[in-house]
């Protein structure tokens, strides 16, 4: 064989001839001759996760698959292999490699001979080890024996892992920290002062488990809170792109009802993929106005949404070209899209048609496949069945990983939408997934399973530096930022500034009486009343309004006070001259917190009832109040009845009645004479057993986003959001510092708080600390609080103190 120096000076054709002659007597050494050439010239762009032109030579299988230009290597035929063609091309736009030195004639000769000899490859060799590929079917790991009395399966797995890493077991969080964490994680609300004090004082060893069960049983609070998680994940909202012109459809009523009844997750997913009219908004996606990328077609949105939400797969890149970051290809995304499509689809690569037809199929044919010849509806049912079958461990792992991330602050697989990533503890992931299936896909059971572990109940990890990559070591749950909705809810509740209207059209009435130690309104005492002229058989005219009043005296500090009210057709309720609420739907009674509006001594309720309709018809008002004084265990309950009075005069804009208003006895309206059976039944059901802490006050999750919520991180939901930013943005810092939305809320909150009969600034300060942080202030904190509030709190000082509390990292974090 001639020396390389001589070969380089010979014409290329002669060089290739010599290179070919050498193969008559010796085979090319793949490891020592081919690999160095490919590593030098090719693998920077075509190995590992890099697949420029959708071509990889990381393994022999990948090499023979080819790329977007078709088959690249034909074993035994170098003259038919595009690899050699591209290497030899004189066109600099075609020649490979595109940058750097071209291959020498000797290198070309070696590669040509290697291909002619069959492109032999050392078994198992890869330029870069392939990415982690999780097993598709379920694993059933052996749960280690209990160590140190930790019997919970999660704790047994984690304790063994911690010992293998020579890490200590995280200590338990104190009762107050656990109570606050559990309340915010499961219902998104803080416990009351009374609940905090009772829980901390309770010596029962099972009180934490009982608390978790009681919180999960509060189906309305649970649904209100978890709507945030699911709205983000299913990109559902109440306003925004597509809703006005019909290019998008809400699934709000279906979703809320599914959460309230704790629909099994497999059924939940099947109804989203093979939808009913109520649940089809998810699969339909968004029909964007104007020119968009082909990858934003509704069919491809379906592929992207289904794969990301339910399988933790990113098909966004693969909707345009073969992915550069994982193994999913254009044909995989189009396979899912074709299942949904009601017309033939052509594969389009980077908005350029390929002339190839998409074939309906899903990413894991080893578990079964879609019959592409079936009608669209049947294909969707097949996909829903394949996806949710117990043998598809990817399905259950993806969901439990999301729940673990939600409760513990970091996924077992992280990020949660990258389920091809190796988990930091595969056994833990599979223990959770298997439990989920054994519990028949019960989401609440899985949440309870996690929350009753010592792991969840441990002190939060103290983070230092960036330890989210391969260096991550579990050291306990991580602190989580309040969501925008949680922050706003807490501010509303603490300050008594909750608005009266929700934008989500959902049913929030209790389906059954709720048994809990909190205050109840009691048995139904309210009677429907109207002005006494109804006794003369004169039905009220359409639009006619009446004022109804009742006075009562309070002789001590109020522990709680609730009012249930409705009117046919609409009402406004005022307490001591301040508007508490308005209602427009007589069939939906409202349960409201009355306490912030009450005062020592004489109090007065006025309800303005307004008749509707197009002509004279029967009208009525219902109202029932229940209150308890702090030092009196007796419930004081009264309702609308013959002791109330009515007037034709109405309050002015400031809530004041005319001085000379004439007040007359009311008349009871027979329920049988009006279409109110439904309202009466719902009112009785509401009164029969609703905890005061639930209250049915509107929640931020059920109203349209506003400027404050958007700056706090609430997304517009035009894209799927599986986790929100954890870092404070500049906009958020500005709005929290001096934004008008928060300032206005604090000012109104201060006015509301000062309606309560605080004995001193210290009492207010202690109450706020217990209400927000579930602990009393330290001596140093109390000193600062009193300096802020002054000897007698004013509206200005109270607003400043509220702001100081809300800005505490301890308030804004679930620890």
Average pLDDT over residues 43-50: 79
Tell me the pLDDT tens digit for each residue of 259-316. Answer: 999 999 999 999 999 999 999 999 999 999 888 899 999 999 999 999 999 999 999 9
CA distance 390 to 316: 26
- The answer to whether the CB of 424 falls within 8 A of the CB of 412 is yes
Q: Note the pLDDT of residue 678.
A: 58
Query: Which candidate, 418, 490, 517, places its Cα nearest to that of 197?
Result: 517
Longest dimension (CA), the chain: 123
- For the chain, percent of residues with pLDDT exceeding 70: 90
Q: Side-chain half-sphere of 536: how many Cα atoms within 13 Å?
A: 6
CA distance 692 to 521: 8
Structure tokens at 172: 């338990």
Confidence of residue 9 (pLDDT cuts 50, 70, 90): very low
276: phi then psi, degrees, rounded to nearest 5? -90, 175
Q: Note the pLDDT of residue 675.
A: 54
Please determine, for residue 559, whether its predicted confidence score (pLDDT) is greater than 80: no
CA distance 270 to 535: 56
How far from the centroid of its chain's Cα atoms is residue 562's Cα?
31
Q: Note the pLDDT of residue 532.
A: 81
Please determine, for residue 588, whether its predicted confidence score (pLDDT) is greater than 60: yes
Structure tokens at 286: 């968004």
**N residues, the chain:** 815
Helix (H, G, I), strand (E, B) or coil at 274: coil
The sign of the torsion formed by the CA atoms of 466, 468, 473, 476 equals positive
How far from the centroid of its chain's Cα atoms is residue 650's Cα?
45
Please determine, for residue 689, whether its predicted confidence score (pLDDT) is greater than 80: no
CA distance 350 to 352: 5
Average pLDDT over residues 776-789: 95
Please determine, for residue 18, whether its predicted confidence score (pLDDT) is greater than 50: no
Find the helix or strand (DSSP H, E) in which 646 lies.
strand 645-647
Please determine, for residue 613, whether its predicted confidence score (pLDDT) is greater than 70: yes
Find the helix or strand (DSSP H, E) in which 264 lies.
none
Average pLDDT over residues 375-400: 97
603: phi then psi, degrees, rounded to nearest 5? -125, 155
CA distance 548 to 527: 13
- Give the chain's count of helices (H) and strands (E): 30, 15
Percent helix / strand / coil, the chain, rounded to 5:
40, 10, 50
Average pLDDT over residues 155-178: 96
Asked, as a colleague might, if the bond just before 569 is cis with ω within 30 of 0, I would say yes
Residue with structure tokens 């934004």?
A: 739
Q: What's the mean per-residue pLDDT of the chain?
A: 87
Q: Nearest-5° angle of CA 275, CA 277, CA 282?
A: 55
CA distance 339 to 373: 10
């Amino acid at each position: 064989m001639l020396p390389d120096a001589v070969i380089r000076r010979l014409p290329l054709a002669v060089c290739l001839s010599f290179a070919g002659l050498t193969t008559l007597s010796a085979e090319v050494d793949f490891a020592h001759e081919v690999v160095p050439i490919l590593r030098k010239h090719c693998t920077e762009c075509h190995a590992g996760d890099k697949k420029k032109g959708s071509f990889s030579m990381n393994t022999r299988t990948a090499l023979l698959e080819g790329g977007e230009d078709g088959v690249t290597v034909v074993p035994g035929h170098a003259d038919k292999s595009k690899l050699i063609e591209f290497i030899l091309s004189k066109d600099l736009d075609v020649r490979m490699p595109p940058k750097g030195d071209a291959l020498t004639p000797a290198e070309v000769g070696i590669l040509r001979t290697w291909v002619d000899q069959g492109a032999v490859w050392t078994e198992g060799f890869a330029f870069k080890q392939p990415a982690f590929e999780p097993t598709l079917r379920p694993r059933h790991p052996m749960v280690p024996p209990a160590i140190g009395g930790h019997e919970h399966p999660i704790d047994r797995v984690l304790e063994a892992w911690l010992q293998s890493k020579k890490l200590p077991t995280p200590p338990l969080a104190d009762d107050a920290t656990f109570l606050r964490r559990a309340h915010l994680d499961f219902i998104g609300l803080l416990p009351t002062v009374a609940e905090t004090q009772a829980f901390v004082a309770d010596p029962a060893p099972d009180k934490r488990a009982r608390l978790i069960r009681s919180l999960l049983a509060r189906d309305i609070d649970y649904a209100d809170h978890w709507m945030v998680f699911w709205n983000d994940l299913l990109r559902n909202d109440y306003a925004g792109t597509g809703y006005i012109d019909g290019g998008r459809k809400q699934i709000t009523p279906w979703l809320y009802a599914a959460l309230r009844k704790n629909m099994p997750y497999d059924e939940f997913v099947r109804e989203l993929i093979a939808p009913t009219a109520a649940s089809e908004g998810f699969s339909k996606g968004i029909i964007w106005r104007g020119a968009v990328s082909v990858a934003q077609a509704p069919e491809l949105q379906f592929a992207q949404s289904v794969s990301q939400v339910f399988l933790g797969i990113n098909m966004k890149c693969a909707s345009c070209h073969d992915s550069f970051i994982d193994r999913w290809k254009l044909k995989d995304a189009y396979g899912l899209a074709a299942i949904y499509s009601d017309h033939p689809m052509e594969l389009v690569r980077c908005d350029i048609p390929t002339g190839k037809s998409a074939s309906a199929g899903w990413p894991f044919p080893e578990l079964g496949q879609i019959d592409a010849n079936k009608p669209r509806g049947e294909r969707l049912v097949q996909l829903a069945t394949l996806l949710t079958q117990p043998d598809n461990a990817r399905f259950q792992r993806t969901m439990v990983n999301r729940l673990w991330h939600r409760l513990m602050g970091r996924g077992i697989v992280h990020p949660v939408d990258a389920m091809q990533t190796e988990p930091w503890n595969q056994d833990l992931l599979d223990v959770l997934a298997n439990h989920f299936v054994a519990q028949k896909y019960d989401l609440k059971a899985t949440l309870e399973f996690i929350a009753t572990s010592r792991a969840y109940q441990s002190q939060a990890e103290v983070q230092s530096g960036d330890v989210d990559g391969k260096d991550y070591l579990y050291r306990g749950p991580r602190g989580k930022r309040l969501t925008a909705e949680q922050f706003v809810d807490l501010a509303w509740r603490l300050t008594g500034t909750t608005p009266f209207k929700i934008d989500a059209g959902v049913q929030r009435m209790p389906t059954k009486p709720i048994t809990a130690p909190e205050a109840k309104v009691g048995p139904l005492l309210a009677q429907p009343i109207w002005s006494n002229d109804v006794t003369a058989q004169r039905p009220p005219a359409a639009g006619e309004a009446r004022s109804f009043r009742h006075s009562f005296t309070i002789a001590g500090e109020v522990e709680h006070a609730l009012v249930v009210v409705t009117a046919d057709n609409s009402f406004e309720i005022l307490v001591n001259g301040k508007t508490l609420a308005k209602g427009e739907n007589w069939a939906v009674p409202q349960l409201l917190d009355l306490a912030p509006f009450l005062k020592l001594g004489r109090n007065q309720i006025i309800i303005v009832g307004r008749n509707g309709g197009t002509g004279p018809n029967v009208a009525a008002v219902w109202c029932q109040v229940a209150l308890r004084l702090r030092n009196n265990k007796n419930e004081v309950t009264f309702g609308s009845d013959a002791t109330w009075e009515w007037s034709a005069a109405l309050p002015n804009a400031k809530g004041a009645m005319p001085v000379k208003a004439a007040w007359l006895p009311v008349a009871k309206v027979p329920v049988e004479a009006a279409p109110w059976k439904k309202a009466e039944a719902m009112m009785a059901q509401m009164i029969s057993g609703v905890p005061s802490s639930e209250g049915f006050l509107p929640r931020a999750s059920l109203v349209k986003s506003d400027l404050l919520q958007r700056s706090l991180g609430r997304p517009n939901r035009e894209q799927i959001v599986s986790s929100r930013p954890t870092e404070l943005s500049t906009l958020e810092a500005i709005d929290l510092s001096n934004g008008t939305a928060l300032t206005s809320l604090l000012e109104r909150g201060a006015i509301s708080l000062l309606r309560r009969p605080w004995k001193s600034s210290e009492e207010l300060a202690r109450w706020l600390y217990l209400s927000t942080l579930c602990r009393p202030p330290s001596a140093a904190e109390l000193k600062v609080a009193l300096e802020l509030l002054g000897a007698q709190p004013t509206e200005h000082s109270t607003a400043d103190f509220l702001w100081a509390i809300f800005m505490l990292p301890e308030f804004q974090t679930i620890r």
